[in-house]
Every structure is written in structure tokens, then in C-alpha cells.
Amino acid sequence: MGMTMTQKILAAHAGLDTVRAGQLILADVDLVLGNDITSPVAIKAFAAAGQQKVFDRDKVTMVMDHFVPNKDIKAAEQCKMCRDFCHAQQITHFYDVGKMGIEHALLPEQGLVTAGDLVIGADSHTCTYGALGAFSTGVGSTDMAFGMASGKAWFKVPSAIRVVLKGSLPQWVSGKDLILHLIGMIGVDGALYRSLEFTGEGAASLSVSDRLCICNMAIEAGAKNGIFEADELTLQYLREHGAAAPRIYRADDDAEYERTIELDLSQIEPTVAFPHLPENVRRFGKIGDIPIDQVVIGSCTNGRLEDLRIAAEILKGRKCAENVRVIIIPATQQIYLDAMREGLLEIFIESGAVVSTPTCGPCLGGYMGILAKGERAAATTNRNFVGRMGHPESEVYLVSPASAAAAAVTGKLTDPREVMRA
């Protein structure tokens, strides 16, 4: 029996000819990632284990993004611990205020991930990099500490679900709508500890930004990772960002999958995930009048330049609705700069929105957009659990950048196609 893309990458990094689902392996890692919340725990575990030096200062990276710029003394102390550790270890890729960004947007932009890599990160959305043909997955902070010390990680080889895509997405429909649609089909545990492997001729029609968004939210279906086969669009992206030479892995024709799902992209519509799970999805035809208090456009899911361009196209020449707070967060400094040069920030500010420095802030209820009791937010973030963005009696509705911008204009959940027709 052949192997899936994920299994081939794991086998190569474990020095094995073949692996099977359920097998336990020790594999070499190409990159170990931590942020300002998870890294301090890993640093303490690293020291407690008596470790003195990281295995490779070029292959450990820390990104200060969750509570940065620091929101309080505790956040400042967390970042200082990371800063001091990275200085002492002479870590090459340490990203602090001024050059940081939201980690899962920053690392691909900086060329730190390439096709065929094995990446672990002490953040659940590390699965983002599967969009570039890599195996990447979230781990705990103690696993991060082990990875920093040894350059290795233990894995149970996942079985796989194949998602065959055909056609192309309609206008005002994006990868966010696609992944919400899929999660709605299979549920938040529908791919539990499995690899979601996206393939088919429709995959080639998706932009790299769409693929990054889709793989980012693979974890919201319980998946160990999400992955796309590296194609010419992937390779072009990797070249443009100075990534290392790719190693392309394709699934064998006789690879074993637990399930195959076929999706016609042309039939996907703007989709909303209602509170309090990403699987609670509805199309706009089945959505009543849901007023919104706050709109957030950003995060590791949808803070890329392509996302901001879509939002700006809807907001241009329009005003944000009365009593709606609209927060727009470019995911990296480079995206912020590019958006400024393109005039997108001017469009946002003139519409009545506020533009923030890169941060995860509101996504996890950290700062820069906390919800009060009874308030509702339309957000391009990835989770809408109880209390995720503030008060436990607030509500988060997950949407695409287009749908978020439409909500900003109308003050309620609105199909972006309706706004553009008006």
C-alpha cells in the first residue's frame, strides 16, 4: 500500500522507507516555532531538563505576536524572557516589535518554510504551512522544548482524508468560505488526528492566501495537519520569498485514505459560522437579521494583503455603519507597508475603521477588541468558542474578509454580493 503526502514527509524525516497510520516515529524537524505565550513555558522546561544550547540557532524561531506591543506587565515579562533567551542562544530568527508579525503569516513571508519541510510550533494553527506542501502541526510547549534541544519530535503517523476539489470559487467567495463549508460538513471532530489532504484540479485555482487560510483552519476540524501538493503557484511563492529549495512529495496512486470528499468550488457560497463552534455554519439565505457590534478583519487566518484588498474593495466609498466598531489588523509589518502604499489604509480610515499594528490581540480575547456582555462580532478569525473574544455571554461569528466588510457597512451579517449589487 502506498503513502499519502504527509506520510511520505514523515517517513523521509524519520529516515524510513515507509510508514503506516498509527506508527510511532521519531523524526527530525526543520523548524521549531514558539510565540510570546507558549515560548516561556518551553524555555523553563528546556532549563529544567539541564539543556544549555538549542540544536540549531537557525532552526528555532520565536515570534512576539499575541500580546505585542505588550498590553500589561505580565505580557512584558513574558516577552523579556523570550528576548533574553534568544539573545543568549543567538537565535537567528527572533521577531520582536518593529519586525514582528502574526507568526503564521510571518514565517511564510520570511521564507522560513519550504515544501517538504517538517515544522512544529507551540501554537495549534501551525498547521498553516501545509499550504506550501510542508507537514506542519501544533505541539505542546514541552514538545517545543524537546524540539529546541534535540531537533526531533515524536509523532503518531496520521491516517488521511482526501478532499478532491474541482471547479473554481465564484466572486466574493474565498478559501475561508470553503474551509467553513467543509468543517460544517464533517464537524469539529470530523478529521480528528487525521491529515486533511487537498487535491484535484480545483486546488490549482486557489491562491496561496486561500490555501494558507484553509490549512490554518484544518485544526478546527480536529485535523493533525492540512496539506496541499506543491504546484507551480507554490513554487513561485517560495521563490519570491527566498525559501530554501523545495522537496515535493506527492501521494502514491494506491495511498490509503479513510474517506474521500469531493467539493465543487463553484457551488460554495459566502458562509458564516455561528456561535459557539466553527461547525455551526449557515449560508446567508438561512440567516436572519443579526446585528453586529464589532468587526475584526485580520488574524493568522485572514490578515494577508489579498484579504485586505478584498475588504477595501467593499469599503471603498462607503462608511461603516453607526455604532459598529471596525478593527483592521494587517498580519505583518510588510503587509501593513504594502497596504499603506496601495492606499488601502486610507480607504479603511475614511470608512470609519481603525487600523492596528500586527497582533493576535482580539482573536483570543487578549486585547485590542474585547467584547462586552451581549455584544456580537463578525470576525475573520478562526475560533468562536464561548468567551473567545471577551465576555462569556458575547458572540463571535466567523466570516470571510468580504463578509466582514459587508457587515461593517450594513451593521449586520450581510452577504457581500448584496452590498456590491446595491
In 10 A of CB 245, how many CB atoms? 8
The tens digit of pLDDT for each residue in 360-416 reads: 999 999 999 999 999 999 999 999 999 999 999 999 999 999 999 999 999 999 999
> How do beta strands 325-328 and 294-297 pair?
parallel
Residues of the chain with pLDDT under 50: none
Own/partner contacts of 69-78, CB < 8 Å, gap of 24 or more, are 69/97, 69/357, 69/359, 71/361, 71/366, 71/367, 75/36, 78/36, 78/37, 78/39, 78/40
From the number of C-beta atoms within 10 Å of its C-beta (0-12, 13-18, 19+), residue 72 rates as: exposed
Residue with cell 520582536: 96
Strand partners, 260: 162
CA of residue 53 relative to chain centroid, distance: 30
Query: Are the C-beta atoms of 220 and 188 separated by less than 8 Å?
Result: yes
Ordered DSSP codes for 320-367: PPTT-EEEE--SBHHHHHHHHHTTHHHHHHHHT-EEPPS--GGGGTSS
- DSSP line for 37-55: TTHHHHHHHHHHTT--S-S
Radius of gyration for the alpha carbons in the chain, expressed in angstroms and rounded: 20
pLDDT at 117: 98
Comparing CA positions, the residue from 336, 326, 323 lying closest to residue 379 is 326
Positions of E strands within 85-212: 93-95, 118-121, 135-138, 152-156, 159-166, 194-199
Q: What domains does the chain contain, in order, with CATH numbers? A: 5-265 (3.30.499.10), 270-421 (3.30.499.10)
Q: What is the pLDDT of residue 422?
A: 76
Residue carrying the nine cell digits 515544522: 119
* Cβ 232 vs Cβ 137: under 8 Å: no
